[in-house]
Structure 1
Amino acid sequence: MLYRVIINSTQKEDTLIHLLSDQEHYLRRVVRLNDGQDFIALDGKGNSWQVKLTPHGGQIINCLHENRELFSRVTLMVALPKGNGFEDIIRCATELGVNSLQPVITDRTILKPKENKLERWRKIAMEAAEQSERQIVPYISPPIPIKKALSHFGSVDISKYIAVARTNASHLLDFLLQDLSAQEIVIATGCEGGWTTEEVKSAIETGFQEISLGKRILRAVTAPIMVMALIAAVDETKHLSENLVNK
């Protein structure tokens, strides 16, 4: 196994990788790499390289062509749960393949995040992407009011869903199986207490399809993780089917 570090664009100069002090510490002190041993550097945007550790950073020896990403680009619009629940959502959703998360403030949102929270959330996404060996680091947007988020996504012609508890709407899985070719998906999940009637109405008016996540009432932290698990499972099943047809 080759250990992974995510770099920014300024750290790559031709075939050289300039490591930051914490990356150097991780590679040399935590995982005990020595000069001449290899690791993987990623830019978090789909590019990755096999790199040899040197006294002055890293030397690229090979461009890698990996693909562990989902077919569909997935954005989770998550009404912020109380406490540190959103951090758990970031970790699990990143492992399951989410591309971006848009935290939203709703009428029933309890958490009022401080400015430094965004930096912490993005660091968690980076660490989870490294751990799950992804090529993409999900983008965590600054929290915005639900009305602003609905207005933004309402103008985009993509598959859009809002998960509602105690609804007679069809299950998300039904929609996913009917729309296997969807290249981009947005799914909204509510906070403790769920969406207000007005919020659901506004979502539907801006093009969101109401969906169910099953008979049971899920916690605000559980719902977005279940959403991503379903999407990842459908994606894997689709690729397995394609491989069998091609053999």
Structure 2
Amino acid sequence: MYRFFIEESQVDGNLIRIAGEDVNHIKNVLRMKKGEHVLLSNRRGLEYECELEDLEGNRGISARILDIHGVESELCERIILFQGLPKGDKMELVIQKAVELGASEIVPVKMKRCVVKLDDKKAKKKLERWNAIALGAAKQSKRGVIPEVSRVLTFEEAVKRAEGLSVLLVPYEAAEGMEYSRKLIRKTKGKDSIGIFIGPEGGFEPSEIERLKEAGGRVLSLGRRILRTETAGMAMLSVLMFELEE
């Protein structure tokens, strides 16, 4: 069954009015017909199972609500990925895979060893592109919510944001001891919010690691191999997903 995202304002009694680009996708790309079923998510964890009714009206497509579900595809824990800005188009890959693996939000972070320099105009265009990628990945992976990609934060802004989370995990190549890492991962189950801090291509500066420790960050190892910045977040999210999935 195909899934689309809606705003709660589109719900009117037992009908939902589908509008925008989804109308063309349903009618001309998928060539769906009256009577077929779709899932419409309100982006906040509520999902409507609907039957398409009117596909010819000028105001979009009307769908009749058959049932309402909580979104079973979402983790109970909220995971925020703080990603050091990588070079080139790597951020697009990071966002796509982070959404597929269950991240609730992706926060791009300017760190000392970041090579990328974005002015306000470039940052705005990038942010629009990044959120479009998050939307596409959410649809493809049948997420019940659309994870947000936030504006680019400075390192200190990101640390202050992370201080309010239940757990803050910091994979670091200089950390040792996989048993400690396993214990940390097991302790994340049932926590309200989990932050993951990933360094850029050049890694963290030692001073950044110390600042993250001051903020409550737990430094852990992902193994003996040095992972690329675009791989480290995926590895961390994969391990967490395996541990947290009901």
Partner of residue 30, structure 2: 31
Query: Quick one: distance in 2 between partners of 1:105 and 1:146?
Result: 6
SS of corresponding position for 2:4: strand
Runs (5+) with no aligned partner, structure 2: none
Change beyond 3 A, Cα 1:208–1:80: same
Change beyond 3 A, Cα 1:143–1:172: farther
TM-score (norm. length: structure 1): 0.89
TM-score (norm. length: structure 2): 0.89
Query: Quick one: distance in 2 between partners of 1:211 and 1:66?
Result: 31
- 2:89 equivalent to 1:84: yes
CA drift of 1:157 comes to: 5.2
Query: Quick one: distance in 2 between partners of 1:160 and 1:82?
Result: 25
Partner of residue 135, structure 1: 144
Alignment of 1:103-182 (within 5 A): 103-113=108-118, 114=122, 115-154=124-163, 156=164, 158-168=166-176, 170=178, 172-182=181-191
Assess if the C-alpha contact under 8 Å between 1:173 and 1:230 holds in 2: no
Runs (5+) with no aligned partner, structure 1: 240-247
Partner of residue 230, structure 1: 239
Partner of residue 198, structure 2: 189
Query: Quick one: distance in 2 between partners of 1:215 and 1:99?
Result: 28
SS of corresponding position for 1:111: coil
The one-letter amino acid of 1:10's match is S
Partner of residue 243, structure 1: none
Assess if the C-alpha contact under 8 Å between 2:168 and 2:217 holds in 1: yes
Change beyond 3 A, Cα 1:172–1:87: farther
Identity %: 28
- 2:72 equivalent to 1:67: yes
**What are the superposed Cα offsets for residues 132-177 of structure 1, whole Å, 9 maximum, x if unpaired?**
11212112111110111112222x1511111111322555433112
Change beyond 3 A, Cα 1:45–1:112: farther
Change beyond 3 A, Cα 1:117–1:12: farther
Number of equivalent positions = 235
- Out of 45, 55, 62, the position equivalent to 1:58 is 62
**What are the superposed Cα offsets for residues 165-213 of structure 1, whole Å, 9 maximum, x if unpaired?**
1322555433112443323211101110101111111111111111111
